[in-house]
Amino acid sequence: MNSPILVTGASQRVGLALALELAQAGHTVVTASRSLRADVVHPNIIQFRADLCLEADRLALIEHLRQRHDGLRAIIHNASVWLDDSLDNLETMFRLHVEAPYHLNLALGDMLGRVEKADIIHICDETASRGSKSHIGYAATKAALQNMVLSFAEKYAPTVRVNGILPGLLIFKEDGDDAYREHALKKALLEFEPGARPLIDAVMFLLESQYSTGSHVVINGGRHLKNRIA
């Protein structure tokens, strides 16, 4: 069956590394991002330009998948923006972190159901479980994304497994200075920049897992334990 993995937000950083790893492992990967990468040339990667904040772009992506593929092996909701708190930014983050995954999960559920074992993976954030005084809107919308794991897991069981991944810091911001890097590292028990590997490993585990649904994999280097009150 012609059943690719859909990865959103795969034009840079962790999403790009994940798409390339999946393609190298033999999966057909459809990426959905606002921009295309001319330097990404792999026979197993199909790039689709879409601003997932826009319903029209999501509908075009859905139609593209339906016209060209029999089913879907997985949907990995990786698209994300980390914006400061404001009403406009809250709306943008809600559309990307909540509305887009909700829409795509519902609209593509039948395509996932055609595969013997399919997966939906929500890439959430470790702040979804603890909040963030400096990025309230970001943490709140990621918490909604995390909560939807539970609902969709129940809705699509037993054929489709639905799980979430809660990463902490994986890759430093490109414009961060030395002070930012030192401060960011001190937030975790494991004080190093791990790169994309922990998230890739978590995705691969969930794709192979037969007995996990409605669950969350935390990869935050022990941030939830640092500075814990005894």
Beta-carbon contacts of 15 under 8 Å, excluding residues fewer than 6 positions away, are: 7, 8, 9, 31, 33, 78, 79
Q: What is the DSSP letter of 192?
A: S
Catalytic site residue from 138, 156, 180, 211: 138
User: What share of residues in the chain are helix, strand, coil (percent, to 5)?
Assistant: 40, 15, 45
Give the Cα separation of 23 and 46 in Å (integer). Answer: 10
Residue located via tokens 């990967």? 29
Max intra-chain CA distance, the chain: 56
Q: Measured at the alpha carbon of residue 70, what is the angle toward residues 65 and 76, in degrees to the nearest 5?
A: 55
Q: Are 90 and 144 in contact (CB under 8 A)?
A: no
Give the Cα separation of 176 and 200 in Å (integer). Answer: 24
Handedness of CA 21, 116, 110, 210 (dihedral sign): negative
Does 211 qualify as catalytic in the annotation?
Answer: no
- Which residues are designated catalytic? 138
